[in-house]
C-alpha cells in the first residue's frame, strides 16, 4: 500500500455511464486484481476502484457512475490532483499452472481483467476472454483485449451485440483455468457451470480498504476474510456457495 | 519544547493520542505504514468471549462528514486474541496497549477481562458497554446505570489493571451512567461510542446497511461528543477519555479543554491511515500556537 498524490491526465467517457481515468505520479506497485482507494473532495469515505492497467507510471481506472462518489469522479478535469491509496488487496495468481486461461468479466468487472490479460499474454498464455454487458451501448474494451491477442467473445443480455444472453451462455471450451470479475449472481453462475480451477474477484462496500475496519468481511472455507485485504480475489474453493 | 505527556490511571502516555477500538485492528496493518510507537497507546479491536463474524454486509455507509458502520464486533474470540494477535502486536508495539472488551452477559465481561488481566502488555481494560451493533448485549449494558455498574463491579473483581468504561451516547442522561460506573469502581470513563444512525438507498428504497441501523461516527459527531465529554468530566473525578469525530491536533486540544485527559481517534484512521501519526506530530506546533506549554494545564479549562 502506498498513499500517493496523483495527477489526472485523462478522464473520458468510454460507454454509457462508463469512464476511463488515467493518473500519473508515484503510484508504487499495482498488480492485476488489486485496487486503489480514491479520496474525493466533499466525501468522507474513499471509493475503491479496480486497477485496469498500470505500466509503472500511468495508472488506468475504468469506473461506472453508480452513485455520488463515481459521479463526482466523472466530473473531475485533467490536471486535478487526487489522494489515492495504491496497491491494495490481494490480486490474481499469475503463476497458477495453466496454458489456456479464460477471463470472464461482467460490466465494470471487465477492467481488472484487462491488466491480467496483458500479463498472462506476456507470460506466453493463450488467453480467451468473455466480456458480458447488458446492451451494445455499454460495451467497452473489446478492441483493447483483441489487440493484446486474446480470443474475445462478447455477450449482451439483450442480444444487441455478440451472443444473446449472459457470459455463462458464451463460454468457450478447452480452457484450463478461469479468472472472473463481475456481479455476484454472475460469479455464482460461473462456479456452477465451470469445473476448471479458478479465481474470482469480489466487491463489497468498504470503510478503509486496507484491513482496519472489518467492514467488508466475507465468510470463507477458512474463516472470515476481508475482501479488501485477503481479497478481493479468492480461489473458488474458498467461497461458500 | 512543550510537554505532551499525560498520566492515564497511573500509566504515563508520551502524548494523549489513542487510536480508537475498531479503527486500528491489532495495530499491525498500521505498523506497515509508520512506527506506531509514536502513539500514546491504541485501543485494540473489540474482543468477546467467543469468536464472532459480526453482521451481514453491507455494513458500511457514507454520510455527510462521517460514516455508519454495523460491523458487529467481528473478532477471533479472546483465546485467539491472546494466542495469536497479542504476540503479533507485541512485535510492532512496545508500550502498554488498551484492551477493548465487549460481552453479552456480565459473566462474559468478567471471563474475558480475567484472561486479559494476565497479559503483561495490556495496560488498561476499556470495557465497551455501548456497542450499538449487537443485539441482547453491548449497548444494553450502557443505557441503564444499574447494569453499567454491575458490569463495572464484575470486571473490577477480576483485574488489578485500570478499568475504563466506554459509554454510549444513545441515552437520555449519560452523566448518571458515568456516575454509576465511577461509584462501582471504574478507574476511568471513555466516551462517546457511535451514535445510532441509518441511511436509505434512494434507488431501492431500502436501508443501505443490511442490519438496518449502525453506529454513526466521523467529524460530524464532534460537537455532540465534546458536549458529553464536558458534562461527564464535570460530574466525575476519574480520568475521562474523549472521542468522537476527532481528526486533527486542534480537535485533541478542544477535547482536553472540555475535560478529557486523553483523546481517542476513530474514523479518521480509516480515511487517512496516517491520521494517528499526523495528529501526534502536529500536536506540539498546535500547542505552541496557542501558547500551551504543558498539555495537562488545559484539561477541563472550559469548565
Mean pLDDT over B173-178 rounds to: 97
Find, in chain A, the residue whose alpha carbon is nearest to that of B69: A215
Mutate to test the interface with B, among A72, A215, A221 (most CBs of B within 10 A): A215
Same domain, A167 and A97: yes
Same domain, A20 and A37: yes
Asked if the model's pLDDT at residue B223 lies above 90, the reply is: yes
Domain assignment present for A234: no
Number of domains in chain A: 2
Instruction: Report how far apart, in Å, the C-alpha atoms of B124 and of each of A169, B19, B185, B244, B262 are.
Output: 59, 14, 14, 20, 13
Distance between CA atoms of residues A191 and A178, nearest Å = 10
pLDDT of residue B136: 56
pLDDT of residue B48: 96
pLDDT of residue A57: 95
CB count in 10 Å sphere of residue B46: 26
Domain assignment present for A229: no
Q: Is the dihedral of CA B179, B180, B186, B188 positive or negative?
A: negative
CA angle A128, A130, A134 (to 5 degrees): 165
Going by pLDDT thresholds of 50, 70 and 90, the confidence category of residue B142 is confident
Longest dimension (CA), chain B: 56
Q: Are A44 and A25 in contact (CB under 8 A)?
A: no
Q: Which residues of B269-292 are buried (b: 16+ CB within 10 A; e: fewer)?
A: bbbbbebbbbbbeebbebbeeeeb
State the distance between the two ends of chain A, measured CA to CA, in whole angstroms. 30
The bridge status of strand A2-15 relative to strand A18-24 is antiparallel
Nearest residue, CB atoms, B270 vs list A3, A69, A213:
A213
Asked if the model's pLDDT at residue B133 lies above 90, the reply is: no
Under DSSP, is residue A25 helix (H, G, I), strand (E, B) or coil? coil
Domain ranges in chain B are: 6-51+93-194+217-298
Mutate to test the interface with B, among A68, A212, A229 (most CBs of B within 10 A): A212
Nearest residue, CB atoms, B271 vs list A39, A216, A219:
A39
Same domain, A114 and A60: no
Q: Are B191 and B127 in contact (CB under 8 A)?
A: no
Find, in chain A, the residue whose alpha carbon is nearest to that of B214: A215
> Under the phi-then-psi rule, with left for phi > 0, alpha for psi from -120 to 50, and beta for the rest, what region is A153?
beta
Domain assignment present for A103: yes
Report the half-sphere exposure of B191 (CA within 13 A, side-chain side).
32
Same domain, A182 and A110: yes
Domain assignment present for A241: no
| ipTM of this complex | 0.93
Under DSSP, is residue A69 helix (H, G, I), strand (E, B) or coil? helix
Residue with cell 457512475: A65
pLDDT of residue B139: 64
DSSP, res A186: H
Domain assignment present for A181: yes
**Min distance B29 CA to chain A CA atoms (Å):** 7
Same domain, A102 and A188: yes
Asked if the model's pLDDT at residue B140 lies above 80, the reply is: no
Domain assignment present for A213: no
Asked if the model's pLDDT at residue B137 lies above 70, the reply is: no
Same domain, A72 and A98: no
Same domain, A11 and A60: yes
The torsion of the CA quartet A127, A132, A138, A140, rounded to 10 degrees, works out to 0
Query: What are the pLDDT digits (tens) for B179-197?
Result: 999 999 999 999 999 999 9
Query: What are the pLDDT digits (tens) for A134-144?
Result: 999 999 999 99
- For residue A188, what is the domain's CATH number? 3.40.50.80
pLDDT of residue B171: 94
Cell numbers at residue A101, please? 486461461
How deeply is A186 buried, as exposed, middle or buried, from its count of CB atoms within 10 A (0-12, 13-18, 19+)?
buried
| Backbone Cα Rg of chain A | 17
Same domain, A105 and A157: yes
Nearest residue, CB atoms, B54 vs list A69, A212, A214:
A214
Whether A216 sits inside 8 A of B57 (CB atoms) is yes
pLDDT of residue B221: 98
Annotate B254-296 with DSSP letters as a single string.
HHHHTT-SEEEE-THHHH-TTHHHHHHHHHHHHHHHTT-SBGG
The total number of residues written for chain A in this structure: 241
Q: Which residues of B195-218 are buried (b: 16+ CB within 10 A; e: fewer)?
A: bbbbbeeeeeeebbbebeebbbbb
Going by pLDDT thresholds of 50, 70 and 90, the confidence category of residue A3 is very high
Distance between CA atoms of residues B18 and B124, nearest Å = 12
Q: Are B254 and B226 in contact (CB under 8 A)?
A: yes
Q: Report the candidate in B276, B190, B284 with the shortest Cα–Cα distance to residue B240.
A: B190
Asked if the model's pLDDT at residue B147 lies above 60, the reply is: yes
Cell numbers at residue A45, please? 469515505
Distance between CA atoms of residues B184 and A41, nearest Å = 46
Indicate the average pLDDT of chain A.
Answer: 97
In CATH terms, the superfamily for domain B6-51+93-194+217-298 is Aldolase class I (3.20.20.70)
Whether B53 sits inside 8 A of A224 (CB atoms) is yes
**Min distance B83 CA to chain A CA atoms (Å):** 17
- For residue A66, what is the domain's CATH number? 2.40.30.10
Distance between CA atoms of residues B261 and B255, nearest Å = 9
Q: Are A68 and B62 in contact (CB under 8 A)?
A: yes
Query: What are the pLDDT digits (tens) for B229-280?
Result: 999 999 999 999 999 999 999 999 999 999 999 999 999 999 999 999 999 9
The torsion of the CA quartet A22, A23, A28, A32, rounded to 10 degrees, works out to -20
Same domain, A82 and A109: no
Percentage with pLDDT > 70 across chain A: 100
The torsion of the CA quartet A85, A86, A90, A95, rounded to 10 degrees, works out to 180
Query: Which chain B residues contact residue A219 at CB under 8 A?
Result: 53
Print the domain residue range for A145: 93-193
Percentage with pLDDT > 90 across chain B: 95
**Could you tell me where the beta strands, DSSP code E, fall in chain B?**
6-8, 11-13, 17-19, 60-63, 66-69, 97-101, 122-128, 163-166, 188-191, 195-197, 200-201, 206-207, 214-217, 240-243, 262-265
DSSP, res B215: E
Q: Which of A36, A68, A88 is the last residue of a domain?
A: A88
The bridge status of strand B97-101 relative to strand B122-128 is parallel
Query: What are the pLDDT digits (tens) for A190-222?
Result: 999 999 999 999 999 999 999 999 999 999 999
**Min distance B297 CA to chain A CA atoms (Å):** 33
Mean pLDDT over B88-102 rounds to: 97
Domain assignment present for A22: yes
Instruction: Report how far apart, in Å, the C-alpha atoms of A10 and of each of A14, A15, A79 are.
Output: 12, 15, 8
pLDDT of residue B134: 67
Query: What are the pLDDT digits (tens) for B277-295?
Result: 999 999 999 999 999 999 9
Amino acid at each position: 500500500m502506498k498513499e500517493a498524490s496523483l495527477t489526472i491526465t485523462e478522464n473520458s467517457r468510454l460507454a454509457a455511464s462508463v469512464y476511463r481515468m488515467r493518473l500519473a505520479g508515484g503510484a508504487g506497485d499495482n498488480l492485476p486484481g488489486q485496487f486503489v482507494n480514491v479520496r474525493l473532495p466533499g466525501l468522507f469515505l474513499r471509493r475503491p476502484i479496480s486497477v485496469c492497467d498500470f505500466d509503472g507510471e500511468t495508472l488506468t481506472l475504468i469506473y461506472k457512475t453508480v452513485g455520488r462518489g463515481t459521479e463526482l469522479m466523472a466530473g473531475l478535469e485533467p490536471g486535478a490532483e487526487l489522494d489515492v491509496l495504491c496497491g491494495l488487496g490481494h490480486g490474481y495468481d499469475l503463476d497458477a499452472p495453466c496454458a489456456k486461461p479464460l477471463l470472464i468479466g461482467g460490466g465494470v468487472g471487465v477492467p481488472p481483467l484487462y491488466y491480467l490479460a496483458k500479463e498472462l499474454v506476456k507470460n506466453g498464455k493463450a488467453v480467451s476472454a468473455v466480456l458480458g454487458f447488458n446492451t451494445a451501448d455499454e460495451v467497452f474494451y473489446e478492441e483493447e483485449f483483441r489487440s493484446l491477442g486474446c480470443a474475445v467473445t462478447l455477450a449482451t443480455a439483450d442480444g444487441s451485440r455478440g451472443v444473446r444472453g449472459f457470459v455463462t451462455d458464451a463460454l468457450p471450451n478447452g480452457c484450463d483455468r478461469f479468472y472472473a470479475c463481475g456481479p455476484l449472481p454472475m460469479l455464482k453462475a460461473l462456479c456452477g457451470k465451470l469445473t476448471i480451477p479458478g479465481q474470482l474477484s469480489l466487491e463489497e462496500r468498504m470503510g478503509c480498504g486496507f484491513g482496519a475496519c472489518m467492514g467488508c468481511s466475507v465468510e470463507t472455507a477458512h474463516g472470515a476474510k476481508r475482501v479488501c485485504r485477503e481479497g478481493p480475489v479468492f480461489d473458488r474453493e474458498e467461497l461458500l456457495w | 519544547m512543550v510537554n505532551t505527556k499525560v498520566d492515564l490511571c497511573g500509566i504515563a502516555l508520551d502524548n494523549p493520542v489513542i487510536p480508537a477500538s475498531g479503527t486500528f485492528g491489532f495495530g499491525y496493518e498500521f505498523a506497515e505504514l509508520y512506527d506506531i510507537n509514536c502513539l500514546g497507546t491504541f485501543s485494540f479491536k473489540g474482543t468477546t468471549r467467543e469468536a464472532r463474524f459480526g453482521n451481514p454486509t453491507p455494513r458500511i455507509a457514507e454520510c455527510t462528514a462521517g460514516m455508519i458502520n454495523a460491523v458487529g464486533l467481528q473478532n477471533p474470540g479472546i483465546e485467539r486474541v491472546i494466542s495469536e494477535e497479542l504476540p503479533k502486536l507485541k512485535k510492532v508495539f512496545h508500550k502498554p496497549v488498551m484492551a477493548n472488551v465487549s460481552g453479552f452477559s456480565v459473566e462474559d465481561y468478567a471471563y474475558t477481562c480475567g484472561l486479559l488481566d494476565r497479559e503483561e502488555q495490556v495496560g488498561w481494560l476499556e470495557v465497551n458497554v455501548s456497542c450499538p451493533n449487537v443485539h441482547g448485549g453491548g449497548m444494553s449494558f450502557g443505557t441503564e446505570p444499574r447494569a453499567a455498574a454491575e458490569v463495572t463491579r464484575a470486571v473490577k473483581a477480576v483485574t488489578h489493571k485500570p478499568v475504563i468504561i466506554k459509554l454510549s451516547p444513545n441515552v437520555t442522561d449519560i452523566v448518571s451512567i458515568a456516575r454509576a460506573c465511577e461509584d462501582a469502581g471504574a478507574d476511568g470513563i471513555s466516551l462517546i461510542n457511535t451514535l445510532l444512525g441509518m441511511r436509505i438507498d434512494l434507488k431501492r428504497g431500502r436501508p443501505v446497511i443490511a442490519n438496518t441501523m449502525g453506529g454513526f461516527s466521523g467529524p460530524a459527531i464532534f460537537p455532540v461528543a465534546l458536549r458529553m465529554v464536558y458534562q461527564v468530566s464535570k460530574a466525575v473525578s476519574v480520568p475521562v477519555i474523549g472521542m468522537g469525530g476527532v481528526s486533527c491536533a486542534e480537535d485533541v486540544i478542544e477535547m482536553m479543554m472540555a475535560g478529557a485527559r486523553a483523546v481517542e481517534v476513530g474514523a479518521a484512521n480509516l480515511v487517512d491511515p496516517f491520521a494517528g501519526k499526523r495528529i501526534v506530530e502536529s500536536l506540539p506546533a498546535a500547542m505552541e500556537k496557542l501558547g500551551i506549554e504543558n498539555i495537562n494545564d488545559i484539561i477541563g479549562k472550559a469548565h
